[in-house]
Amino acid sequence: MERENIYEGKNMALFEEEMDSNPMVSSLLNKLANYTNLSQGVVEHEEDEDSKRKEIKAPRMGTFIGVYLPCLQNILGVILFLRLTWIVGAAGILESFIIVFMCCTCTMLTAISMSAIATNGVVPAGGSYYMISRSLGPEFGGAVGLCFYLGTTFAGAMYILGTIEIFLVSLFAAIFHSEDGEGENVAMLNNMRVYGTCTLALMAMVVFVGVKYVNKLALVFLACVILSILAIYAGVIKTAFDPPSISVCLLGNRTLSKRAFDTCAKYEYRNNETVTTDLWKLFCNGSMLSAKCDDYFAQNNVTEIKGIPGIASGIIRENLWSAYADKGAFVEKKDKPSIPASEEIKFISSPPYVLTDIMTYFTMLVGIYFPSVTGIMAGSNRSGDLRDAQKSIPTGTILAIVTTSFICILLVFGHGKANGEPTWALLLTALICEIGILIASLDSVAPILSMFFLMCYMFVNLACAVQTLLRTPNWRPRFKFYHWTLSFLGMSLCLALMFICSWYYALFAMLIAGCIYKYIEYRGAEKEWGDGIRGLSLNAARFALLRVEHGPPHTKNWRPQVLVMLNLDSEQCVKHPRLLSFNTQLKAGKGLTIVGSVLEGTYLDKHQEAQRAEENIRSLMGAEKTKGFCQLVVSSSLRDGMSHLIQSAGLGGMKHNTVLMAWPESWKQSDNPFSWKNFVDTTAAQQALMVAKNIDMFPQNQERFSEGNIDVWWIVHDGGMLMLLPFLLRQHKVWRKCRMRIFTVAQMDDNSIQMKKDLQMFLYHLRISAEVEVVEMVSSNLPFRWRALLSGVLCFKQTPFPFYLTFQAQLIHDRNTASHSAAVAKTKEVATPEKVQMTWTKEKLISEKHKNKDTNAAGFRDLFTLKPNQSNVRRMHTAVKLNGVVLNKSQDAQLVLLNMPGPPKNRQGDENYMEFLEVLTEGLNRVLLVRGGGREVITIYS
């Protein structure tokens, strides 16, 4: 009644029963229109969001404040001010332009890919992690997201080191001091570590109190940066007309550091006297003009040049080409004259030469400069605070890249607690940042964070390219100025830059990302996001399936592709879970495995039971480490369902060629749902067949056999499956220590010795190690009276019921006595009519007699005068004899493999067929009946 009131007057009567799962369109549109980018997640991943979501102020940031300025502030960093001029001095203007162009192109292509991803649907909080994880899956998203986090953390260390470097160079407020050159470098590093750690602690306290107070000053900090850049341009213009009076002292063409002297000259005139300067004392053994001096100092003049000559002086032409140098090389002015010295005598430990403190080359400079163009994701990281993320992220990011690229090129040619802060995450970040500070070198930290940022950018480009190439239906970005070739080019450029900067750092970063990926894959993702990798896997699977030939594979490539037939109980649980254990031991994760089962009923009525059964099967497959697919069939009868499953399981060339099932222990019970007819139908299918008897006694995957045998009874040739299966089993840890024995049966007219030699040679060519034994069987040693009774029981069922019991008991007794291996208790149990029962019974005899009363007299007389069916007599005789021989040789074996006889062509003998198999395997612990599929599966050729 309530449902009728709710939908009264809404014209939804036809769909009332679907409203629980399918809402009205108006309700759906209302939820989408009121969507807000909240940090707790996407609407479709939240439960009861209408009742539980709190009122939160909608984000108000636009493109300029939310994206453009944050990107600008992150890109215009410490590298731009401290290292760009040094890069130009070492690499020259042309190669510096190439470095800047490569890095800016990389970020621009990444920004285009990021814009396409950002405009392909709503982007809530999460930024780059959200975009990558929804495009490439949670494994890639988590790996790249953590790499981006590490890069950002090391970027913090780099900014701190840059700040301390300026502080130490400009203010000279050093704690550690040293007089010699090497000691000065060590003291510099220690000063960086001390001051850097103190600065990091101060910044951590500020963030702990609340980063929102820092964000309020972001525009002030950005204004300072912009003013500094404008000051640089103003200085370039001013020096073109009025260069500053800053001078550089040269000895020959070598640059000197003026820390240890004031006057850039060897001597000077005072009161009409020539007096040596402090510089003289650094290169000579005394202050007198007659003192012995360094040879290079004596032969070269001391000159003074302008430190900033201005662009009008032709400095651009001089700086066009590179001037790379090794560590410890002299900083020289190439156009100045210099006379090389034959021998340099050092009168002090470190002459005041300006030496290079690091080896410079092109790829190293790329790694140092690249952090200067990072920061393009500063806007996307604020996606949860943007009014329209799909519009703001592309526009603001690309504008910021264009602006900063223009600035860099001009410079090259110019010269959790209560307040919401995550406490433990803050401490971890500070610890990682401290690692970067302890390195204490800006030039060493920069390549590290370059790797992590390049890794992140590479996967952003990959995500865009994959989505475009796969033509995913959901891939409909509003940003149209992109193409998959641009994304692919950006991805390739990022990968190339990683190895250009530092190949060992690149491999290390990939190793970290790979470990994170495998960890997330191992733990499993909590959500299914429909990522592009799944689409890529489907396309790859489709491509591979189309390439697989539909015909049978070559004998060398044959392996059992198994369809495991499981039986379910009334609770849809698997009856014999060790069947999956045995399949895992046989397959070892290789090849195709399809786990199938049949539910009796109609699909509409059994839908819930089918889902529950499939979940139970998948859970068991996971527990048994069975790698494969689950396929459940609902059919009106189990017999038809099994037939459908055997025929239709698999896809294309990936179809099963072998059926594995458990022996139906209760096949004689009339109320058994899995009747003997279903089993016989399965054996008649044109598939290789493996039937495991006493499957509950088979070992689990955790068990280990320390000794024992796997016995193969090779009665008839079935294509070689009997040889191949033990070899595959012994690859698993359960059966690895078991030996393989092969028994074959020789007839009266066979040469047993020659058979053994031939079999050994055959196994040698098959590269299979096994013991060989030939068993001779006498053609007939069963007493005549039992053979006569056997004829009547199996063929015309004329034997009265008491006679049948006597025969069956005597038959089992004779067999066990001949084998000398069966226990007395076992014999009595087998002799019980309830346990082992032949097909013909007294009740059936009476019903058959009543059935034949309506026939004519001649037909009635012929019923008891027909000749015995000698075929059934021979079959039972063979089963009894073979069982006795097998028991004698293999009763203690860990596993016995037997040729499985084919089903009778005359379907009226199906019940007798089951009796044959029961007698053949009686008394054995673990038996695997094997029947080949009619083709060779093993070969002696390579």
476-523 per-position pLDDT tens digit = 888 888 899 999 999 999 999 999 988 888 998 889 888 888 887 777
Q: Alpha-carbon distance 613 to 229, whole Å?
A: 69
Write the DSSP symbol of residue 908.
G
Bridge partners of 660, per DSSP, are 564, 690
Domain ranges of the chain: 26-234+364-503, 245-307+325-359, 553-703, 704-783+804-817+870-941
- pLDDT, residue 215, reads 67
Closest CA to 470 of 481, 478, 462, 459: 462
- pLDDT, residue 362, reads 92
Q: Alpha-carbon distance 216 to 220, whole Å?
A: 8
* Full-model pTM: 0.64
Radius of gyration, CA atoms only, the chain = 43
The CATH code that applies to domain 553-703 is 3.40.50.620
Q: Alpha-carbon distance 273 to 281, whole Å?
A: 17
Condensed to tens digits (0 to 9), the pLDDT of residues 280-306 reads 888 888 888 888 888 888 889 999 998
Q: Alpha-carbon distance 248 to 264, whole Å?
A: 9
Instruction: Name the pairing type of β-strands 709-714 and 739-746.
Output: parallel
Bridge partners of 744, per DSSP, are 714, 774
Q: Which residues contact 22 (CB under 8 A, 6 or more apart)?
A: 15
- pLDDT, residue 866, reads 29
In which residue ranges of the chain is pLDDT below 70? Answer: 1-60, 122-129, 132, 134-136, 172-173, 177-183, 210-215, 343-349, 379-385, 410, 412-422, 524-533, 549-552, 588-589, 669-677, 681-685, 778-871, 905-911, 942
Among 1.20.1740.10, 3.40.50.11540, 3.20.20.100, 3.90.1170.40, name the CATH number for the domain at 26-234+364-503.
Answer: 1.20.1740.10
Closest CA to 801 of 766, 845, 850: 845
Q: Which residues contact 86 (CB under 8 A, 6 or more apart)?
A: none
CATH superfamily of 704-783+804-817+870-941: HUPs (3.40.50.620)
- pLDDT, residue 381, reads 67
Cβ atoms of residues 618 and 594 within 8 Å: no
Same fold, 553-703 and 704-783+804-817+870-941: yes
- pLDDT, residue 914, reads 80
- pLDDT, residue 298, reads 87
For residue 268, the tally of other CB atoms under 10 A from its CB is: 12
- Buried-state track 407-441, b at ≥16 Cβ within 10 A, e below 16: bbeebbebbeeeeeeeeeebeebbebbbebbebbb
Tell me the one-letter amino acid at 92. Answer: G
Condensed to tens digits (0 to 9), the pLDDT of residues 316-375 reads 888 888 989 998 888 888 888 888 877 666 656 678 888 888 899 999 999 999 988 887
Bridge partners of 273, per DSSP, are 270
- pLDDT, residue 849, reads 42
Q: Alpha-carbon distance 928 to 230, whole Å?
A: 85
Written as six digits, the tokens of 44 are 């479709």
3-state secondary structure at position 827: helix
3-state secondary structure at position 772: strand
Cβ atoms of residues 439 and 158 within 8 Å: no
- pLDDT, residue 563, reads 92
DSSP 402-415: HHHHHHHHHHHHH-
